[in-house]
Structure 1
C-alpha cells in the first residue's frame, strides 16, 4: 500500500468537506412538513438538486422498499435501504413527513412505522436529499438530527466514512437488497476485515484484511470525493487502499465503495458524460479470485474456479441442497448409524481422493502415518468424514466441513469416506482418474480383510502354545515392580492400578488418537486388554518434579473420591519424569461440545439434569469426600458425558500438581473467557466460593446454550452472557434466553437467579453448593439477585 503525507491528506479532507458543506447549504431541495410519497402516486421519490440521486420507493420483487439510488442508470444502483430486512410493502403504502415532525411509513390496515427509528427522536422541521447522496433530517436552525451517511448498508459514497466498530453488510444480490452472507468490519484495532455472516468473526474466519498495524481507537474507512479510499485516524499513518484515476476536476463523477453480494469489497466510478446516462467502471477490487472468499460455498461443498467465475461443487457422496442455489451447500443421504452398528465399518465405505484440496476446520485427530494407513484409519473410524494428508501427517475431520477450496497452491490430498451405494454418483470432473482409484481401494480393503481372517485362523494354534509362557513372564515382571514400589512407600490403601509406560504406550497405539488438550496436558484414547475396555490416558505436562511418595499421596487422595458425578481414576504411571493418569473413557465427549458444537441443542429437561449433576459433583468435592478439594478450573471442557449422558467432573485435585506460578498463569488465561472468579486476579486467598463462581457461569451457559463471551451476536449487550442474562431478567424477558423452546418457566427463572447469585463479585454473597442444589430443586426460596460486577 502507498501512503501520503498528513498535510496533503488534510488538504484533501478539507476540500471534500467544503464541497459537501457547499452541497448541503446551496444545493438542497428542502422537503417541507406535509410532503408525501407513494408507489401508487405520481410522486414516488424526492430528487437531489442535480437530479443524480433519489430517495423514496423502489421496486423489489412484487413489492416496494424505501431507499436511495443513483438515477440515469441502465439498472438501478441502490446506495442505501431503510429497514432492509423488512418485507417489501404494497403499492398502497405511503411515506409521510407529518406536520408534527415525523417521517412515517404507513402500511395497509393502519400500521405505521418510523423511518428512521431513533431512540429519542427530536421533531423534524424539514428534510433534504443532498447531491452527496446523503439523505438528512433537519431540526431547528437547520441542525442535522439524522443522516443516512451515519447508517450505511453495503455502500459508502465520496465524502462518507465507516467509523470504528461499524460494518458494511452485503446484499443478497443486485435485485435483493436484504442482508446477505458477508460483512466488512471496521475493527477497533484499526483493521478493516471481511468475514462470512454466520461466523464467530475471529481471525480463522477472516478472508480479507487491510493488514493495518494496530493503531488504537478511532480509525475510520474514508472515501473522499475525488476517489481516494483510505484508512485514517487514531495513531495510524494514512493507509491508502485505492486511488481513482479519473480527473478530480470533473464533478460529473461519483465514487462508491461497495461490499458486493459475492463478499468482495470494490471501488466503482460512475461517469455522467451526458444527460442520457452514465457508464460504470470498476477501479479497484480487494480480491481477484472469488474462491478466496470464505463461505462463498456452503457446508460440505468447495469452490473450484478462477477469477470471478466461482464454481461450487459437492464433495464426493454429497448432493446439493438446492441445485439452483449451490451456495447453500450440500448434504448426504446416509447416516453414521450403520457404521456404529457394524463390526467391520471399513466394508461399508470406500475412499475417494481430491487433489489440491483445503478447508478451514479444526481436525479432531492429527497423527503421523503413511497415506494408506491414513485412509484405512478413516474407514474404521465412525467419527471420520474426511482426512487431509499433508505428506507425513494424517489429519481427521468430522462433518460438516466449511470453507472448502481447490487451489494449485495447496499441496494436500483430501480423502473422503463414501458409502459404496453412493459411488454411482458422478465424481468430480476435474480429476478423471478417480473412478479406478475407488475400485482399487475397494478391492484392496476386501483382500486385506480376507488375509487378516485367514492369517488369524492359521496362527491361532501357535499363539495358544506360547500364551502361557508370555503370561508367566508378564506376571513375574509386574510382581517384581510391585515389590519395588512397596519399598517406595506404596500402601495397601491405594486401590489404583499401577501401569507401566510401555503398557500405556501399547494401549494407546503409541499415543495415536488425541482426544483433547488442556491445562495439565494431552488426553489420548486407548484400550486395555482386560475386557477390551476403553480408557482415556492423560499425559501430565509441566508438573512439579516432586518425589514418587508425594505424587502417590496425591493419587491416593483422588482415588478416595467416589461419586457418580466425578470421573473415575483407574490407575496411574510414574517412571522418572513420566507421569500419566488413566481414567474411564467418556463416550459422549464434553459439555462444551454438547452446548456449543452440536447441530441440535439438548432438550430443556436434559439441561436441567446436567446442571444438577455438575452441582452435586462440586458439592461432593467441597464437603463430602475425605479430603476436601477446590477444583479451581470448572468449565464445560472439564465436564464430560458418559454413554448414559450423565455429567461427570474431570481434572479435580490436579491444580496443586502444576509447577509454581503455573496455576495462576493458567487461570489467568481462563479468566479471559469468564470462568474464573475475580479473586484470582486480585492475588488473594481462594476458597470454595471460587468454584461456585465458575459453576454460575457454566449454569448460565447451560441455560442459553452459548458461551460466556460471544462476538457474533445481534447487539453489543449480548456479547457478555451474564450482562445479557441480567438485563433480560430485570426486563422480564427471560424467553429471549431460550428462544422458542418448550421450557418450564419456573425452572428457567430458578436457574437464572441461582446463576446470578453464584457470580457475585463478593465471595460472601455467593451461596454454598448445598444451597445451590436446594434452590435448583425448588425447595429453597431464591431472593432477587443484585447486579453482578463483571470482570
Structure 2
C-alpha cells in the first residue's frame, strides 16, 4: 500500500490532501455506545457519520451518508462478522478503536496499531475516517480499505477489489466483485470465480493500454468525474459528466450494487430544498447481462426490466423463496444410463465455459449432445455447436432479435418432467431421444475402448483449441464491450454560439486573467456550471498562447489543477472552458478577516498548491513551468481544494530541457530575480513565487502592505527579521497555532525565496519539509527583490 501511495501521490490520490474545511479531531478516550444517544461521530458539515447502525436485530459499525434521508451506507467494518449485540461500546484508544461487548469482552475493531501511537481521529466531510499519531500524521484511514463503494477523492488501486453487499439491508459480502486488475483492466465478476473471460460480464477495454509496467488505478474525483489513471500522464475517462451544485453540496459515490452492476450516484443537498439522489451512470443497463444473477441450472429473463430467475426444464428451485440461488434436478437417473431427452430453447444463451466447439448443423448438434455423456447442454449459434458440461450456469434468455441461438438441455426420463409457468421456458419443446440399444458384452467392450480413445484425442484437441482461443476471446470481449474508453481525455470543441448562449452573452464576469476575462456559464446539454475564459489578445501572441494552453492542459490531470473541459477556435474567437470553482481565488481568502481560513486549513492549502506545482514540474509530460504562481491563479472548489489555474503563461519544457530563456512574464512581487537579470528561467522560478505565496498564506497578508510600520511593509524582510529574533508569533497577530509547524513553514518559505536559484529546494522537497518528513536547515537571509 505504501508503494501505491507513492505512485499515485501526483494524481491527487494521496489521502492527506483530502482534508475538509474545519476538520475536527476526536480525542483518545472518546466513545460510542449502542445503549445511549451517542451512537455516531459526525463530520464537520454533518455530511457523513461513523458509528453504530442498525442491521436486523443487532448493529454493525460503519460509515454512512448522514445527510441523506435514507442514511446510505458507504463502508462497513468486518463485514462478515456476526452482528454486534446491544450494550456494546466503541472506545478510541492508543492501539486502535476497541469494541467492548457484553461480558467485558474486548477486541480491536479498526486500525490495530502495534506501537500504540494513535493520538486522535477525524470523521471527514469526504466520508473518510482517519486516525492520527501525535505528529498529526495519518496512520490509518477507511479510504485504504473500501468495501462496496468509493467516494469522491478515493481510489481503487491495482489488484484490489470491491464486493457487493448481500442485500439492501445486509451489508455482509454479497455475490459480485469488481477488480482493478494488474493488466490495467477493470472487470466485474461473480464473487467465487477465477479472473477468466468466461466469468467476466463487463470490462473497461483498457487491457494493458497503459503499458505493461504502468498499472492503472480507478479514481473518482470530487466533481463526479471518474478515471482510470496511472502515475504518469495516462488517463482513460470512465465517466466525465460530473459537476458541482450551484446552490448546495453534491457528493458522488460509485458502488457495486447488490445486483452486481457498478453505478455512479450523485447526492445533491440544496441549501433550501429536499435532498436528491440520481443515478448518473451504470456499467450495464441489462441486468440479465450480470453473470451469476441467477444460480446453477437456471436462467435470467427480463420482466419489466427486472431480472426474473427461472429453472431450466427438468429442474426445480432449491429455495423457492430465494430463486437466485439456483435449481436442482427433479430426476434421479444419470443421463447416460437410459433414455434421454433434449429440451430445445430458442434464444437461450449460456455464457459459461464450453469444453467443445465444432462446426455442424443444428440437428447434428442436438444429437451430438445426446450421445456425449459429458454434455449437459449444447448451444447452436452461427453454425457452431458448443457443448457444456455440468454444472450449467450463466443462462440468459436473449431479448434482442439480432441474437439467434438455440440451446439443448438434456435430462433423463426415469420420472415425468415437472414443468410449470415459473420453471420452464415458454419457448421450450421436448425432443425425444434415441434409445440406447442393448449389445453383446464383447462388442460393447470394444466399442467402449474405441470411444474412449477417440474421446481422449478429441478432448486433447479441443483443449488445444480452447487454450489458443482464450486470449483472443478475452481481447474480443474488450473490443466488443459497450463502453469504449478513450486513451486520453478528449477536449470538447464548442461553437462560439454555444458559449454565447451558455454565458448569457458573457453577462456574469468572474474575473480577469493575463490574456482575457473569465465569465460564468451553464452548459445547456448537461446543466453544468463552467468558467469560460475569453481571450482578448487574439493576434500572433494570443494564438500561440491559446494553442500552447490547450495542448498543455489537455494532457494534464491532477486534483490540484483546474481542469480544462474544452475550447472554441472559431474565426477570431479564442475561448477556453474550465471547470467552475465555486469559492473563487485564494486572493479573496487569507486577506479578509471575515473569511480567513484557520491555521490547519492554511497548511492544507499550502500543501495543495505545492502538490499541483510538483505535478507540473516533474510528473506531467512535457514538464511545465507555470511562470505566474500567485494567489489570483490559485482557485478553490466547493470542498476548499486548492487548484492552480491559468496555464496561458506556461512555458513547456522538452523532456531533455531543464532551463529556458524567455521574455519577462508573470506578476511583479512574485517574480524571481532571474526575470530581471536575463538569466535562464527554470522550475526554481516557480519555487520562488510559491515561497512568496506561502509566506502570504502563513501571515494572512499581502507581499506589500503600506498601512503598517516601516519595518513590516515588505513581507519577506519582516518574516526574516521575526525568524532571526525568535518572534514568529508576531506574524500571526495573536492567532494560536502549532509552533513546530509554524517554524517549519516559515523556514520553507525563506528557503524558497533565496536569490540564488540553486539554493531553492525542489517542490518535492518542499512537500516533504512541510509535512515534517525532511529536516530543514536554518535558511540564510534572502535578498529582497
| TM-score between both structures, scaled by the size of structure 2 | 0.52
Deviations 1:472-516 (A, max 9, x none): xxxxxxxxxxxxxxxxxxxxxxxxxxxxxxx99x95699688542
Structure 1 residue 164, shift from structure 2 partner: 1.4
Equivalent residue for 1:273?
270
Taking a change above 3 Å as real, the CA distance of residues 129 and 359 of structure 1, as seen in their structure-2 partners, is same
How far apart in 1 are the matches of 2:233 and 2:100? 46
- Which of 348, 351, 365 matches 2:342? 351
How far apart in 2 are the matches of 1:270 and 1:522? 49
Equivalent residue for 1:516?
459
Equivalent residue for 2:130?
136
1:313 aligns with 2:320: no
1:72 aligns with 2:50: no
How far apart in 2 are the matches of 1:174 and 1:180? 10
Deviations 1:166-209 (A, max 9, x none): 21111112211111111111112221111111101222211111
Taking a change above 3 Å as real, the CA distance of residues 324 and 267 of structure 1, as seen in their structure-2 partners, is same
Structure 1 residue 257, shift from structure 2 partner: 0.7
How far apart in 1 are the matches of 2:72 and 2:287? 22
Equivalent residue for 1:708?
none
Taking a change above 3 Å as real, the CA distance of residues 239 and 33 of structure 1, as seen in their structure-2 partners, is same
Equivalent residue for 2:101?
107
Asked whether the equivalents of residues 289 and 306 of structure 1 are also in contact (C-alpha less than 8 Å), the reply is: no
Equivalent residue for 2:319?
322
- Which of 155, 162, 173 matches 1:168? 162
1:745-756 → structure 2 map (5 Å cutoff): none
Structure 1 residue 124, shift from structure 2 partner: 1.0
Equivalent residue for 1:89?
84
How far apart in 2 are the matches of 1:263 and 1:384? 29
Taking a change above 3 Å as real, the CA distance of residues 418 and 230 of structure 1, as seen in their structure-2 partners, is same
Structure 1 residue 311, shift from structure 2 partner: 1.3
Structure 1 residue 255, shift from structure 2 partner: 0.7
1:398-437 → structure 2 map (5 Å cutoff): 398-407=389-398, 408=400, 409-420=402-413, 421-426=415-420, 432=426, 434=428, 437=429
Q: What secondary structure sits across from 2:219 in the alignment?
A: strand
1:45 aligns with 2:40: yes
Taking a change above 3 Å as real, the CA distance of residues 210 and 367 of structure 1, as seen in their structure-2 partners, is closer
Structure 1 residue 332, shift from structure 2 partner: 0.5
Q: What secondary structure sits across from 1:423 in the alignment?
A: coil
1:304 aligns with 2:301: yes
How far apart in 2 are the matches of 1:283 and 1:424? 44
How far apart in 1 are the matches of 2:367 and 2:168? 47
How far apart in 2 are the matches of 1:115 and 1:161? 23
Taking a change above 3 Å as real, the CA distance of residues 235 and 33 of structure 1, as seen in their structure-2 partners, is closer
Structure 1 residue 396, shift from structure 2 partner: 2.9
Structure 1 residue 34, shift from structure 2 partner: 1.2
Asked whether the equivalents of residues 20 and 159 of structure 1 are also in contact (C-alpha less than 8 Å), the reply is: no
Taking a change above 3 Å as real, the CA distance of residues 67 and 234 of structure 1, as seen in their structure-2 partners, is same
Structure 1 residue 219, shift from structure 2 partner: 2.1
Asked whether the equivalents of residues 18 and 126 of structure 2 are also in contact (C-alpha less than 8 Å), the reply is: no
Q: What secondary structure sits across from 2:135 in the alignment?
A: helix
Taking a change above 3 Å as real, the CA distance of residues 392 and 245 of structure 1, as seen in their structure-2 partners, is closer
Asked whether the equivalents of residues 75 and 147 of structure 2 are also in contact (C-alpha less than 8 Å), the reply is: yes
1:534-553 → structure 2 map (5 Å cutoff): none
How far apart in 2 are the matches of 1:520 and 1:39? 58
Taking a change above 3 Å as real, the CA distance of residues 306 and 119 of structure 1, as seen in their structure-2 partners, is farther
Asked whether the equivalents of residues 364 and 514 of structure 1 are also in contact (C-alpha less than 8 Å), the reply is: no
Q: Which structure has greater helix proportion?
A: 1
Taking a change above 3 Å as real, the CA distance of residues 515 and 370 of structure 1, as seen in their structure-2 partners, is same
1:149 aligns with 2:143: yes
How far apart in 1 are the matches of 2:121 and 2:48? 14
Taking a change above 3 Å as real, the CA distance of residues 251 and 104 of structure 1, as seen in their structure-2 partners, is same
Equivalent residue for 1:372?
363
Q: Which runs of 5+ in 2 are unaligned?
A: 1-7, 440-445, 467-785
Structure 1 residue 111, shift from structure 2 partner: 2.0
Structure 1 residue 296, shift from structure 2 partner: 1.1
How far apart in 2 are the matches of 1:291 and 1:115? 38
How far apart in 2 are the matches of 1:18 and 1:166? 17
Deviations 1:307-351 (A, max 9, x none): 8511111111011111121111111132344x55x4xx2xx3322
Q: What secondary structure sits across from 1:335 in the alignment?
A: coil
Equivalent residue for 2:537?
none
Taking a change above 3 Å as real, the CA distance of residues 146 and 121 of structure 1, as seen in their structure-2 partners, is farther
Equivalent residue for 2:281?
284
Structure 1 residue 244, shift from structure 2 partner: 3.4
Structure 1 residue 424, shift from structure 2 partner: 3.6
How far apart in 2 are the matches of 1:237 and 1:203? 25
How far apart in 2 are the matches of 1:351 and 1:236? 56
How far apart in 2 are the matches of 1:332 and 1:509? 27
Taking a change above 3 Å as real, the CA distance of residues 229 and 252 of structure 1, as seen in their structure-2 partners, is same
How far apart in 2 are the matches of 1:268 and 1:256? 5
Equivalent residue for 2:329?
332
Equivalent residue for 2:496?
none
Taking a change above 3 Å as real, the CA distance of residues 520 and 55 of structure 1, as seen in their structure-2 partners, is closer
Asked whether the equivalents of residues 514 and 522 of structure 1 are also in contact (C-alpha less than 8 Å), the reply is: no
Asked whether the equivalents of residues 111 and 140 of structure 2 are also in contact (C-alpha less than 8 Å), the reply is: no
Q: What secondary structure sits across from 1:90 in the alignment?
A: coil
1:120 aligns with 2:114: yes
- Which of 28, 32, 51 matches 2:27? 32
How far apart in 1 are the matches of 2:388 and 2:19? 60
Deviations 1:685-711 (A, max 9, x none): xxxxxxxxxxxxxxxxxxxxxxxxxxx
How far apart in 2 are the matches of 1:245 and 1:189? 27
Equivalent residue for 1:777?
none
Deviations 1:652-672 (A, max 9, x none): xxxxxxxxxxxxxxxxxxxxx
Asked whether the equivalents of residues 155 and 258 of structure 1 are also in contact (C-alpha less than 8 Å), the reply is: yes
Q: What secondary structure sits across from 2:198 in the alignment?
A: helix
Moved more, 235-244 or 314-323: 235-244
Structure 1 residue 376, shift from structure 2 partner: 3.5
Taking a change above 3 Å as real, the CA distance of residues 514 and 319 of structure 1, as seen in their structure-2 partners, is farther
How far apart in 1 are the matches of 2:265 and 2:85? 32
Equivalent residue for 1:238?
235
Taking a change above 3 Å as real, the CA distance of residues 396 and 251 of structure 1, as seen in their structure-2 partners, is same
1:54 aligns with 2:54: no
Taking a change above 3 Å as real, the CA distance of residues 424 and 219 of structure 1, as seen in their structure-2 partners, is closer
| TM-score between both structures, scaled by the size of structure 1 | 0.52
Structure 1 residue 365, shift from structure 2 partner: 4.2
Equivalent residue for 2:218?
221
Deviations 1:687-738 (A, max 9, x none): xxxxxxxxxxxxxxxxxxxxxxxxxxxxxxxxxxxxxxxxxxxxxxxxxxxx
Q: Give RMSD over aligned pairs.
A: 3.6
Q: What secondary structure sits across from 1:149 in the alignment?
A: helix
Structure 1 residue 121, shift from structure 2 partner: 5.0
Larger RCO: Structure 1 or Structure 2 (Cα < 8 Å, ≥ 6 residues apart)? 2
Asked whether the equivalents of residues 105 and 115 of structure 1 are also in contact (C-alpha less than 8 Å), the reply is: yes
Taking a change above 3 Å as real, the CA distance of residues 373 and 72 of structure 1, as seen in their structure-2 partners, is same
Deviations 1:445-469 (A, max 9, x none): 58xx8xx99xx9xxxxxxxxxxxxx
How far apart in 1 are the matches of 2:97 and 2:348? 53
How far apart in 2 are the matches of 1:172 and 1:218? 30
Asked whether the equivalents of residues 177 and 260 of structure 2 are also in contact (C-alpha less than 8 Å), the reply is: yes
Q: Which runs of 5+ in 1 are unaligned?
A: 1-9, 457-502, 524-791
Aligned residues: 447
How far apart in 2 are the matches of 1:84 and 1:522? 42
Structure 1 residue 73, shift from structure 2 partner: 2.5
Asked whether the equivalents of residues 122 and 145 of structure 1 are also in contact (C-alpha less than 8 Å), the reply is: no
